[in-house]
């Protein structure tokens, strides 16, 4: 039996027999192109690096985030 990597990515919502070729119903932390080997094959997705060394809010958890918009009216001169 030949098993091929799902280079066409994730495809959800269909029965197993209706799954398109080279897709998978379950993928995590993978990508179809191996950067180190510079070829198409299953490769591990790189980890994330923290952008900042300090935590938002210090030792307090973030409860909610919101967006504030302000409209300025410029008087005509």
How many structural domains compose the chain?
1
Whole-number pLDDT of residue 49: 75
pLDDT of residue 63 exceeding 80: yes
The per-residue pLDDT for range 47-58, each reduced to its tens digit, is: 777 766 777 777
State percent of the chain over pLDDT 70. 96
The per-residue pLDDT for range 17-39, each reduced to its tens digit, is: 888 888 888 888 887 877 777 88
Ranges of beta strands (E only) in 1-77 are: 30-34, 39-44
User: Does the residue 67 lie in any domain?
Assistant: no
Q: Which two tokens stand for residue 72?
A: 């300025």
| Domain span holding position 38 | 1-47
User: Does the residue 74 lie in any domain?
Assistant: no
User: Does the residue 43 lie in any domain?
Assistant: yes
Task: Give the whole-angstrom CA distance, residue 74 versus residue 10.
Answer: 50
User: Does the residue 14 lie in any domain?
Assistant: yes
User: Does the residue 60 lie in any domain?
Assistant: no
Q: Does the predicted model carry a pTM greater than 0.75?
A: no
Per the prediction, the chain carries an average pLDDT of: 80
Q: Which two tokens stand for residue 14?
A: 């269909």
Query: Which residues, 6+ apart, have CB-to-CB distance to 43 below 8 Å?
Result: 30, 31, 32, 33, 34, 35, 36, 37
């Amino acid at each position: 039996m030949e098993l091929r990597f799902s280079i066409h990515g994730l495809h959800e919502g269909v029965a197993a027999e209706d799954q398109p070729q080279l897709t998978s119903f379950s993928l995590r932390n993978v990508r179809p192109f191996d950067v180190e080997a510079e070829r198409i094959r299953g490769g591990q997705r790189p980890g994330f690096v923290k952008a900042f060394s300090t935590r938002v809010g210090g030792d307090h958890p973030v409860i909610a985030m919101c967006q504030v918009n302000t409209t300025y009216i410029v008087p005509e001169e």
